[in-house]
Each structure stands twice: as structure tokens, then as C-alpha cells.
């Protein structure tokens, strides 16, 4: 029997978007003001900014840039032939 995958929770931005949709459709809710109790902190936004769908955690920025430029130069060389 295959192990069931654990369903991940929607992220911060998904929750914000869902609430904005509910508000637009007349739910009567309001968005919390920055800094108020229960509002996402700056740390929560910074943590959520790095979590994009399909993003791999492994290579740091300079390593990514080096790999990207290497792929571009290799692709350019193969096109010239």
C-alpha cells in the first residue's frame, strides 16, 4: 500500500488572496492592519517570499547565477554551429 502524501497547507499569499476574494464578494470581513494582533509579521512575509511553487532549496544566488550563465553560453555556442 502506498503511503498517503501529507497535504500541505496553503501559503500566506494564498490565504491573503482567498480573503480578498471573499471580501470582494461581500463577506463583510476586513483585512487586518499591519502591526495589529493576528496580522502577518514581516518575518512571515520574508519566509513566504522564498517559497514559490516548484522552487528548489539548494543552490544559493551566486551558484544559480553561475549555472544560468553557463547554460546560456553553452546554448549560444551550439546555436552558432
Mean per-residue pLDDT, 31-56 = 80
3 has pLDDT over 70:
no
| Strand locations in the chain (E) | none
CA distance 58 to 75: 24
Mean per-residue pLDDT, 49-65 = 60
57 has pLDDT over 60:
no
Which of 14-23, 37-46, 49-58 is least confident? Answer: 49-58
Q: What is the pTM of this model?
A: 0.50
66 has pLDDT over 60:
yes
Integer-rounded Cα Rg, in Å, for the chain is 21
Amino acid at each position: 500500500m502506498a503511503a498517503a502524501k501529507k497535504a500541505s497547507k496553503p501559503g500566506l499569499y494564498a490565504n491573503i488572496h482567498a480573503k480578498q476574494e471573499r471580501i470582494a464578494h461581500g463577506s463583510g470581513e476586513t483585512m487586518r492592519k499591519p502591526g495589529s494582533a493576528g496580522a502577518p509579521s514581516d518575518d512571515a512575509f520574508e519566509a513566504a517570499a522564498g517559497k514559490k511553487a516548484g522552487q528548489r532549496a539548494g543552490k544559493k544566488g551566486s551558484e544559480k547565477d553561475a549555472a544560468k550563465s553557463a547554460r546560456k553560453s553553452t546554448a549560444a555556442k551550439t546555436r552558432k554551429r
